Chain A
Amino acid sequence: MSFKDKILSSFIALENEVDTETYAHQLRNEALASFEELGIPQRKEEAYKYTSLKSLFNKDYSLFPKKESAIEYGDIKPYLIHQIDAYRVIFIDGIYSSHLSETTHDKFDVCLMSSALNNPKYSPVIEAYYNKLAPKDGLTSLNTAFAREGAYISIGKNIAVEKPIEVVYFSTGNESTLMTQPRNLVVVGENSQVQIIERHQSLSDNQVLTNSVTEIFADKRAMVDYYKIQNDHLNASLIDHTSVEQKSDSEVRLHTFSFGGALTRNNLNFYQRGEHCNSILNGVTIIEGKQHVDHSTLVHHTAPNCESYQQYKQIFDDKAVGVFNGKVLVDKVAQKINAFQQNNNILVSDKATINAKPQLEIFADDVRCSHGCTIGQLDEDALFYMQSRGIGKKEARALLMFAFANSVLESVKIPEIKSRITKLIAKKLGVEIGFDL
């Protein structure tokens, strides 16, 4: 049975479990039809030219995991930013874990997608925002058809959320192969502020495929600070679709740290729908072995006087493969845009590969758009300089690589995340030194 057939037959099983009278279920039916038509993206499609999903989808995934596993706080503690107080929405094998989470309905909502989809109280928000932004391609349609759970974050006007919100998806390995379809919705009202950390983590070496969709809406003057930490096991793959809509004077900063996983594909789309928006897309990728990380970004400027900054720093060792496909689209009306895109890569091994495609599509004349893409090595002179002063070769290399990635780290606003990422980088590079000297 092909993957597609399995999906179509599993949908009937899903219908037995969910309330079929809801708005969300109506969308599910439409999405299933669209998935049936579009299917899984193939290599011949331009967007997946350098990333083959074939090996991911020839496995027999379990789509409906068994009920909650016995996972204790101690098991997951290392994967949380535990030093800080935070709201937590924790999922185990795609199912919400109430005893590990800390949600709220006080002033604003940080809760579950399942309750938001089924409770009429939330239907105005769901009907206004749910599935409005995510692109309607094969994989997002697959998610829409099967999504039942995820984080629902809705923040009204004039609220600065006092502590970060952590959304973590764990997979336990109870199933030998598992596919999950997390679905997140973040709606941030006028003048509000929020910090969100998202992570997908598997707790065993079993096969996991996560097909995640996140929609973020930032209203006027809202500020959203979003961090994605990807440091998973070698058998875990992630296909992430994140779409962001910004109204005037808003600022959305999104950081992606890709340090591990078999195949990681990040589809990141920003749509600016108002003047004076600022979008910041930053990323650090450090991978080795046979890992594959693909960043596909789009910044669509539809209104004048906006800015966007993209900065992706990537280091590849062994047989790792990196893909960067960045696109900046400037509409005719979007004059006085300042769009900047930078992609720097270091290939450490001769077997590693990077495929980059930084694109500009510009229809307005009064704009400043630039992109730069480099592929190179560590500076031999700098290495020699450090070695001549008694710093070991390995440490010297690590220091240089850290310095290479540092411009992205500097823009991380949560100190705990910064120090966590710094430690992860040191571990990745196999050195004991702390970089915050």
Chain B
Amino acid sequence: MSKYTEEELEKELQNKEYEYGFYTDIKSDTIPIGLSEEVIRIISAKKNEPQWMLDWRLQAYRVFIEMEEPDWANVNYEKPDLQAISYYSAPNSKPKYDSLDEVDPELLETFKKLGISLDEQKKLAGVAMDIVVDSVSVATTFKKTLAEKGIIFCPISEAIQEHPELVKKYLGTIIPQRDNYYAALNSAVFSDGSFCYIPKGVKCPMELSTYFRINEGGTGQFERTLVIADEGSYVSYLEGCTAPSRDENQLHAACVELIALDDAEIKYSTVQNWYPGNAEGKGGVFNFVTKRGLCEKNAKISWTQVETGSAVTWKYPSCVLKGDNSVGEFYSIAVTNNFQQADTGTKMVHLGKNTKSTIISKGISAGKSQNSYRGLVKINSRATNARNFSQCDSLLMGNECGAHTFPYIENSNSTSKVEHEATTSKIGEDQIFYCNQRGIDTEKAIALIVNGFSKEVLNKLPMEFAVEAQKLLEISLEGSVG
């Protein structure tokens, strides 16, 4: 077995070399910065895409140029100059650092607190390293297991080449090109992303995660994810990483489309910890993401997210409950500190009978940050016996931050039940005093209370994420104790 792995590894390494060489070639072609039809044609050509894909991109671009950047969200930022961005960059073939010693010590400190292994630390920080035998074998075994079950899990660019019928059938059906400004932009210029298809009746045996995709480049600026769960299947998908990523890209506009056919279930978990800018509010990533799922009969989609990073977040993972008896869930923790701004929430659109949705949103704001929950619960007149429960709790730390709630409830069905409640409060002095009394210092006490406050959501995360997410909350709020 081990010999086999080594051979496999060797082949892998050779392939890799080739890949790098290939990419370097591309890199030498310079693509002018800015956005134009020409740029989209180049992107498509570089990816060797079929004509229908190019047409689709161009169609999106034509829609995009007619649209205006929305400004209804409760965030203030300088609008990114879309003409100053390069829309095609080959994955980094050259490591950023030669050894761990060169990496920002602050970053390493965070890694240590999160309990990330040394090898992973190197990979995350972009340090040159030999391929870890363990990880590769893990990755390959995983790929084999998946292939046996007929599960397709690959980069979307590969899927366009190899499974065009699936991509063609589903891409853009949940998030149409003209859905919103950034979705249109993404549709026109998306660089890469993940594609996942679970065949009928298959229960995916492991948490699918970008984590294990060693051979694929870092996540792009305009990611496009498409997850299709065929009838009666189940998949749990993990996105992102608890480790902070020091991404140079200022604007991230991703699109995620989930399709749960009859009786299928998709569990989608995100942990986002992009660079939030420094303590003075300079720099940081703009995260403008469109995420939406469609539930057919008896299907279930569950979104879980932990948002701690990004300077500006603008994100509403939504469920369209089209089929009867379908279920939508949204569990979210959004933590903002310093000058971060988050406007996040969900949309639950009830179309089918007996559809159910649950929204649990926990917002924690500290420093000078602004944290908003914005949600829509819409119950169609045909959605008899629809049921919704929403709970939005906000926790304020310090007197310079803000917490806001903007829930929209639209109901035109008399048999439906909708409940919404929201509270805003701060950590009680008596709670802290109680902890202090028992020898727990204030910082630890706050972490304890925040963890308790977010428990309902943390519990929904897959095990491996939950532990890290808990620590992440602690780190994000460090120094916010007044």
Contact = CB atoms under 8 A, between A and B. Distances in A.
Interface in B367-420: 379, 381, 394, 396-420
A360 B414 contact: no
A362 B417 contact: no
Interface in A356-391: 356-377
A354 B413 CA distance: 9
A348 interface: yes
Interface stretch (B24-32, B198-206, B253-261, B422-430): B422-430
Contacts of A10: none
A359 B373 CA distance: 10
Interface string A327-364: 00000100100000000010111111111111111111
A363 B404 CA distance: 8
Given A360-B424, A362-B402, A374-B420, A355 B410 contact: yes
Interface string A263-291: 00000000000000000000000000000
Interface residues of B, number: 35
A432 interface: no
Contacts of B418: 373-376
A371 B419 contact: no
Nearest to A332: B399
Contacts of B409: 354-357, 373, 375
Contacts of A374: 417-420
B407 A357 contact: yes
Given A46-B72, A365-B398, A375-B416, A360 B405 contact: yes
A369 B363 CA distance: 14
Nearest to A359: B406
Contacts of A369: 423-425
B404 A360 contact: yes
A354 B399 contact: no
Contacts, number: 122
Given A46-B72, A359-B405, A362-B404, A367 B414 contact: no
A374 B420 CA distance: 6
Interface residues of A, number: 35
B425 A371 contact: no
Interface in A312-338: 332, 335
Nearest to B403: A362
B479 to A, nearest CB: 16
B413 A347 contact: yes
B69 interface: no
Nearest to A353: B412
Interface in B214-268: none
B412 A350 contact: yes
Given A361-B402, A371-B405, A377 B422 contact: no
Contacts of B66: none
Interface string B144-176: 000000000000000000000000000000000
B381 A350 contact: yes
Nearest to B410: A355
A368 B393 CA distance: 11
B81 interface: no
A360 B379 CA distance: 23
A349 to B, nearest CB: 6
Q: Which of A351, A359, A370 has the most CB of B within 10 A?
A: A359
A336 to B, nearest CB: 11
B25 to A, nearest CB: 50
A364 B414 CA distance: 38
Nearest to A374: B419
Contacts of B426: 365-367
A375 B417 contact: yes
Nearest to B426: A365
A73 B48 CA distance: 86
B457 to A, nearest CB: 19
A366 B422 contact: no
Contacts of A360: 394, 403-405, 422, 424
B405 A366 contact: no
A365 to B, nearest CB: 4
Nearest to B398: A365
B339 to A, nearest CB: 15
A372 B389 CA distance: 11
Given A351-B412, A353-B410, A376 B417 contact: yes
Among A46, A351, A361, A377, chain B packs the most CB atoms within 10 A around the CB of A361
B421 interface: yes
A386 B401 CA distance: 51
Contacts of A348: 414
Contacts of A46: 72
Nearest to A370: B423
Contact of A372 (B400, B401, B413, B421): B421
A373 B415 contact: no
Nearest to B421: A372
Contacts of B397: 365
A370 B399 contact: no
Contacts of B402: 361-363
Contacts of A354: 409-412
Given A350-B414, A353-B411, A361 B423 contact: no
B404 A359 contact: yes
B414 A362 contact: no
A371 B424 CA distance: 9
B431 to A, nearest CB: 14
A375 B411 contact: yes
B463 to A, nearest CB: 33
Contacts of B425: 367-369
Contacts of A335: 399
Given A332-B399, A374-B418, A376-B418, A362 B424 contact: yes
A64 B462 CA distance: 70
Contact of B405 (A356, A358, A377): A358
A365 B406 contact: no
A315 B415 CA distance: 14
Contact of A362 (B379, B381, B394, B421): B394
| Most A Cβ at <10 Å: residue of B379, B411, B421 | B411
Given A332-B399, A371-B405, A350 B413 contact: yes
Nearest to A350: B414
Contacts of B410: 353-356
A355 B414 contact: no
Interface of B: 72, 379, 381, 394, 396-426
29 contacts: A332-B399, A347-B413, A351-B412, A352-B412, A352-B414, A353-B410, A354-B409, A355-B409, A355-B410, A356-B410, A356-B420, A361-B402, A362-B402, A363-B402, A365-B398, A365-B399, A365-B426, A367-B426, A368-B423, A369-B425, A370-B423, A372-B420, A372-B421, A372-B422, A373-B419, A373-B421, A374-B419, A375-B409, A375-B418
Given A354-B411, A369-B423, A370-B422, 9 more contacts: A345-B411, A354-B410, A357-B409, A360-B394, A361-B402, A362-B424, A367-B425, A373-B419, A373-B421
A-B complex: 7 closest residue pairs judged by Cβ atoms: A365-B396, A375-B418, A353-B412, A347-B414, A356-B409, A373-B420, A369-B424
